[in-house]
């Protein structure tokens, strides 16, 4: 009997090997690591912050919260990160909010401490110097949605059906910035509608409301669209991205004239940077600039 030797397409093999490596890398992460950072080797400058509690749809436990804070403190000072994507390790998940099972075992003082630490963590997320994107590939409810609101941009998977702040149906109100950040993003009227009714929105509805910036195309995930968006952002000058983020974020707190002064000061610090000189030279030479973040 004759046997035919199979031929392997090198490109398919390399792609498969890359997926196997990424999957094996996730398996190597200790099950105790409920939140951790992982640079995307295939996309220099882009790092993911993973939520890793698949059995509970990434409900925010005290351990996840502690590791989230540690990850945020680490990435804050990492100048190699041009864009950060917040995502789940599990397909079809994002963050289902607080871990209510754990919450039932906590004392009042423990709950109070948890809320203070959650507020601190989302403040750290919001104040990161680099652009941040939330890849919402599953339910984003309560504290999960509040976490995404602390990111600069939000991308929802096209088939996601549960995005909302249901706290009033549970006898409380959003306690991790939902009343404040949702109001700044949606305006008071829509924020009241969302919170008073405790309604959940589909991805398409959230896009229509202005709660998310993008929805992925059918057949693709929120992470796919987030990665494409991150690639577009990461091509630009890192120092300029950080200065732009800071100027925009401060605009809510400053009178117009003071804000304009702050913008001008931020602008002037970039004029002597290597990246500004490189951009002008690249324009002259009709090529893409190679930015270094210097």
Q: Give the residue numbers annotated as catalytic, written as ranges.
A: 98, 143, 146, 167
C-alpha dist (Å) from residue 243 to 76, 240, 293: 15, 5, 12
Q: Which helix (H) or strand (E) holds 135?
A: strand 132-136
- Which of 54, 69, 170 has the alpha carbon at shortest distance from 127? 69
d(CA 244, CA 98): 32
d(CA 140, CA 160): 9
Q: Which helix (H) or strand (E) holds 262?
A: helix 256-270
Task: Provide the terminal-to-terminal Cα distance of the chain, rounded to the nearest Å.
Answer: 66
- Which residues make Cβ contacts (< 8 Å) with residue 161, sequence separation at least 6? 139, 200, 202, 203
d(CA 237, CA 219): 32
Nearest 5°: the CA angle 8, 13, 15 is 150
User: What is the phi/psi pair of residue 251, to 5°?
Assistant: -60, -30
- Which of 162, 161, 155 has the alpha carbon at shortest distance from 136? 155
What is the bridge-based pairing of β-strands 83-88 and 140-141? unpaired
d(CA 265, CA 261): 6
């Amino acid at each position: 009997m004759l046997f035919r030797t199979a031929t392997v397409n090198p490109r398919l093999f390399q792609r498969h090997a890359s997926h196997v490596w990424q999957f094996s890398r996730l398996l190597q992460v200790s099950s105790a690591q409920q939140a951790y950072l992982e640079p995307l080797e295939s996309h220099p400058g882009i790092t993911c912050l993973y939520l890793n509690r698949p059995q509970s749809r990434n409900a925010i436990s005290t351990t996840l919260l502690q590791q989230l804070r540690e990850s945020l403190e680490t990435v804050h000072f990492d100048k190699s990160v041009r864009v950060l994507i917040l995502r789940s390790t599990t397909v079809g998940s994002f963050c289902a909010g607080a871990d209510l099972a754990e919450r039932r075992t906590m004392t009042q003082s423990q709950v109070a401490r948890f809320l203070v630490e959650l507020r601190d963590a989302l403040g750290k997320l919001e104040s990161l110097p680099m652009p941040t994107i939330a890849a919402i590939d599953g339910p984003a409810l309560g504290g999960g949605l509040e976490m995404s609101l602390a990111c600069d941009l939000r991308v929802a998977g096209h088939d996601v059906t549960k995005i909302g702040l249901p706290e009033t149906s549970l006898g409380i109100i959003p306690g991790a910035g939902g009343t404040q950040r949702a109001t700044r993003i949606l305006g008071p009227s829509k924020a009241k509608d969302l919170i008073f009714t405790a309604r959940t929105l589909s991805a398409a509805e959230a896009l229509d409301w202005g709660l998310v910036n993008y929805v992925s195309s059918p057949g693709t995930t929120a992470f796919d669209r987030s990665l494409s968006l991150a690639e577009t952002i990461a091509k630009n000058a890192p120092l300029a991205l950080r200065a732009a983020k800071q100027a925009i974020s401060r605009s809510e707190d400053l009178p117009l004239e003071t804000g304009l002064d702050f913008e001008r000061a931020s602008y002037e610090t970039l004029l002597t940077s290597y990246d500004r000189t490189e951009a002008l030279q690249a324009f002259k030479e009709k090529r893409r600039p190679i930015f270094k973040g210097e």
